[in-house]
Amino acid sequence: MNYIRFHIFGILVCLATPVFAQNPVFAQNTRSHTPEAVASFIDQQMAATWKAERITPSNPCLDHEFLRRACLDIVGVIPAEKAVSQFLADSKPNKRELLVDELLKTETYSRYAAVTWSNLLVGRGKDAEALLHGRFRDWLYEQFRTDKGFDQIIRKVLTATGTALEEPAVLWALHHDTKPENLTGAASRVFLGTQIQCAQCHDHPFEERTQEEFYGMAAFFARATESRVLFVQRVSDTNSGEIRLGGMPTGKIVPPQFTDGTKPARSRYTRRQQLANWMVDPRNKQFAKAIANRVWSRMLGRGLVDPVDDFRSTNAAVYPEVLQRLADEFIRSGYDMKFLVRTISQTRAYQLSSRPSRNNKDDETFFSKAAIRRLNPEQMVASVVMSTGLVNDEKTWDNPVFRLLLQVVLNDFIFVFDNMDETTEVSEFRGTIAQALMMMNSKHITNATKLNLLSPLFRKLAACRTVNDKIDLLFRITLSRSPTNAELKRYAQYFQGAKRSSDQLAVCEDLYWALLNCNEFTFNY
Amino acid sequence: MNNLMSRRGLLKLSLGATASLCLPRFLDEELQARELAKGDRAMILLWMNGGPSHLDTFDLKPNHPNGGEFNPIRTSVSDIDICEHLPKLAKQMEHVALLRSMTSKEGSHERGRYLVQSGYLPLPNTVHPALGAVISDELGDSSSAIPDFVSVTVPSLGAGFLGMQHAAFHLPNPEAKPPNASLPPHVNDDRFRRRLGMLKSLEEGFIATRKTQDAKSHFEVYQQGVRLMQAKELAAFDLEQEKDSVRDAYGRTPFGQGCLLARRLVEVGVKCVQVSLNGWDTHLQNFSANRDQMGILDPAYASLLNDLSERGLLDNTLVVCMGEFGRTPKINVLGGRDHWPQTWSASMAGAGIRGGQVVGKTSPDGTDVADRPISVPDLFATCCQALRIDAEKQNHTAAGRPISIVDANGMAVKELFS
């Protein structure tokens, strides 16, 4: 599949650029644009900095750690128990690379990519609105599943017209009330990584951002309008409508102007199309940088520019060459999201352990150890479900009834996990008391950990011959690793007083509960 | 925060952990209920969700066609009239100050709610905290067993950039115990102790190898959760402990019982309780809907004020009643009133607010502010003064942007304190 895709891409390149195709230099260039080559460039850059900063990077992460991390980042769920033993037994030297390739081929990848981008673009949605969000997610899923370039996806989001019935992508505009100021803030934050909306009210004192810049961009949205019949909303572009400086009726009309200072040429395109054309034009490196930086941040816990939506001259990237290269290669790949994931997953930084080395405990800048990140509600719910053994194949995740039921559980979790803010990705590591109570005592966790004849885990535990096997199983389904000897010994003690099988079962339930509640399960580390 | 990173801090944490996670009867010595200490300020926000009609509640226009069906009644303060459907509240008017000249510009529910609960206009990238979250940050006690900010019935606005620890602990139903605060039936104390013992060793294993604040904080929150499960203050959530006559007085509605709960929570040291009443979005049949709404509001609000003042709590507890905007003075063809942010009313009592007065007024037709416009930031500055919070103090967003507790334009309404 991957080979075929690469092949098709190759054919397209050949058709488009026959001269280059025969050029040996070009062939070599192609090799230098593979994920391996780009990752190796990134590794060199980082190694040089670590050396200069006298930081000893952490050791490479262990295989089970990589497996868990890659699964959570790419498909949004911990690995199935079977996958753990398979991966650990695999002796191929490039098994990490192969794993990422396998994960990227799954429907679960597309589904999870759709969820994360949808949450960022339009939030999770509440009540009746949530149905539209479901449609938006399904639309995004289809885009990722069919390997649409990310530039095409965002072009559609920026320009979509019609009703939400015909065109799910209009939800982005609707979500921002189709107001030029809101759309400008959202577009610049997500697609350009800049906080331009601060200039809505005043010129930024230290940066070169001005009110004119904000309203120049807002002018591209000035002709987008929203109309509504009963419950059906429609987004369309009209031929008139201007934006005035400061949003005041007395302000002067601001003509459309891109944030790089250029102005659109006269054309037949609508203003939103003009903005989209400029936005995803390969010459606009800022778009590729902002997106690459976001993907980096999702996989490494922090952006090369951090916060991810605050690119400005006084908040430079920590490794500017790395971000530049990632952006260039992302553009070159045809804005292929999988290319980014593949590349980043092959970097040494991504594959480091979160255990500190002798001197990098406090490094929060140079990516010399893996960050520790709290699972988001989607990852948490899917991972609890995975641990129960209820899901044996990918088809189950895709079953519409299963997804519906899962959504019900998810809503409960979102409610307690995430009532802060839907659209920012600010991680709040502290969690809340309500969240701890949810994990300790809620009916969902109680139902998951109460083992009865019908639960798959009950049967698996019954098949274990020794106490140690039981403990091992419980660790593997939750923490995706086997217990250490010390852990085996410690938890085996709890079984000693449990003579009856019902007592043994209760100890299993309690250990399972503790494993689901512990920090190691709660974090992607 | 930083002292947890030190060795001493770590030691303290692990000792605390031993105590809280291993004892079944948990930490009695630590659980000295935080009685409302003298001078400690708290707030109860009665949130009228949907935007209540000011002309039918606190700002009647009996001699104008916009006035509608209701008549004013006299109150305990000789020159103040309110709606005839608020008779119990009328008897408490000596505690209440009416702000009849509230004015804002946000006429959509969502934006209006954001504005009136946070004091700021919504911005694409900054999420402002609800006032309750600010109160939690400023007046709260992070080591207490119960949350500093509780919202009842409808969820409050979030804690924004102040962080999850200041978000409201939300209780959808005031008559039910806090969700998930008790053990599942099949888990007895012995099993829970065993679970916590296992959890503790798992947590410590991870903390030992990762040495990060995040891993430790996880543990800390679990300790808080366990503390809450066993907190004496948890009894405050049990309305069964009140006499039937008291419960009846507040009204046997979720809002009425929520107000009773608010009084009980403030008594045990909760710093802010928001109780919401849905149903004010009266686009049609405004008058019958308002009659019903006031039937719920009147006994609850009046009993709350009466109770707080009898218990000496009103001196330190600020009670504010408002919604996201007012409603159109002109009655529409469906007998309803639509959204109207230009003029609306709020009422305040307690915490040094001089009751029995009216500030500001609207024009005879109710459409404009005729005297002393009060903005939302003005109202927030007033709340801060009453709560003894420095309105000018700046907090920082994750991106490092400074934001003052109240928008710099806000000026406290001085008349309320004189």
Interface of A with B in 315-354 (CB under 8 A): 354
Biggest CA pair distance of chain B: 76
For chain A, give percent helix, strand, coil, nearest 5.
60, 5, 35
Which pLDDT band, with edges at 50, 70 and 90, does B50 fall under? Answer: very high
Fold of the domain built from segment(s) B38-177+238-417: Alkaline Phosphatase, subunit A (3.40.720)
- Given a contact cutoff of 8 angstroms between Cβ atoms, the answer to whether A117 and A303 are in contact is no
Distance from CA of B109 to the nearest CA of A (A): 13
Task: Please give the Cα distance from A179 to A177 (Å, whole number).
Answer: 5
- A421 and chain B: CB distance < 8 Å anywhere? yes
pLDDT digits (tens, 9 = 90+) for B124-139: 668 899 999 999 999 9
- A426 and chain B: CB distance < 8 Å anywhere? yes
- Given a contact cutoff of 8 angstroms between Cβ atoms, the answer to whether A196 and A188 are in contact is yes
CA nearest A437: which of A339, A517, A521, A514? Answer: A517
| pLDDT at residue A301 greater than cutoff 60 | yes
Question: Using omega within 30 degrees of 0 as the cis cutoff, is the peptide bond preceding B129 cis?
Answer: no
Which chain A residues are within 8 Å of B160, Cβ to Cβ?
Answer: 420-421
| Contacts of range A412-418, beta carbons closer than 8 Å, 24 or more positions apart | A412/A438, A412/A442, A412/A444, A413/A377, A413/A380, A413/A381, A413/A438, A413/A444, A414/A124, A414/A377, A415/B170, A417/A376, A417/A377, A417/A380, A418/A124, A418/A376, A418/A377
Which chain A residues are within 8 Å of B124, Cβ to Cβ?
Answer: 176, 181-182, 185-186, 189, 197
Task: Please give the Cα distance from B111 to A141 (Å, whole number).
Answer: 31
Output the pTM of the full model: 0.77
Which pLDDT band, with edges at 50, 70 and 90, does B195 fall under? Answer: very high
Task: Please give the Cα distance from A118 to A124 (Å, whole number).
Answer: 7
What pairs with residue B277 in β-bridges?
A: B48
**pLDDT at A426 (0 to 100):** 41
- A492 and chain B: CB distance < 8 Å anywhere? no
Categorise residue A147: left if φ over 0, alpha if ψ from -120 to 50, beta otherwise.
left
**Lowest mean pLDDT, pick from A180-189, A400-409, A457-466:** A400-409
pLDDT digits (tens, 9 = 90+) for B63-119: 999 999 999 999 999 999 999 999 999 999 999 999 999 999 988 888 899 999 999
pLDDT digits (tens, 9 = 90+) for A22-43: 444 444 567 899 999 999 999 9
Task: Please give the Cα distance from A340 to A437 (Å, whole number).
Answer: 38
pLDDT digits (tens, 9 = 90+) for B11-37: 333 334 444 444 334 333 333 344 444
Biggest CA pair distance of chain A: 84
The two beta strands, B317-323 and B344-349, are antiparallel
Q: How many CB atoms lie within 10 A of CB A497?
A: 8
What are the distances in angstroms from CA A1 to CA A83, A105, A110, A229?
A: 21, 8, 15, 45
Q: Least CB-CB distance to A519: which of B169, B218, B228?
A: B218
What is the ipTM for the molecules in this complex? Answer: 0.89
Q: Tell me whether residues B123 and A197 touch, CB distance under 8 A.
A: yes
**Lowest mean pLDDT, pick from A433-437, A439-443, B120-124, B242-246:** B120-124
- Given a contact cutoff of 8 angstroms between Cβ atoms, the answer to whether B253 and B259 are in contact is no
Task: Please give the Cα distance from B409 to B154 (Å, whole number).
Answer: 29
User: How many contacts does A have with B, using Cβ atoms within 8 A?
Assistant: 156
Which chain A residues are within 8 Å of B167, Cβ to Cβ?
Answer: 419-420, 432
Query: How is residue A347 annotated by DSSP?
Result: S
**Lowest mean pLDDT, pick from A405-414, B193-202, B249-258:** A405-414
SS3 of chain B: the string is CHHHHCHHHHHHHHHHHHHHHHCCCCCHHHCCCCCCCCCCCEEEEEEECCCCCHHHCCCCCCCCHHHCCCCEEECCCCCCEEECCCHHHHCCHHHEEEEEEECCCCCCHHHHHHHHHHCCCCCCCCCCCCHHHHHHHHHCCCCCCCCCEEEECCCCCCCHHHCHHHCCEEECCCCCCCCCCCCCCCCCHHHHHHHHHHHHHHHHHHHHHHCCHHHHHHHHHHHHHHHHHHCHHHHHHCHHHCCHHHHHHHCCCHHHHHHHHHHHHHHCCCCEEEEEECCCCCCCCHHHHHHHHHHHHHHHHHHHHHHHHHCCCCCCEEEEEEECCEECCCCCCCCCCCEECCCEEEEEECCCCCCCEEECEECCCCCCEEECCECHHHHHHHHHHHHCCCCCCEEECCCCCEEECCCCCCCCCHHHHC
Q: How many CB atoms lie within 10 A of CB B352?
A: 14
Q: Least CB-CB distance to B225: which of A181, A420, A433?
A: A433
Q: Over pLDDT 90: what percentage of chain A?
A: 69
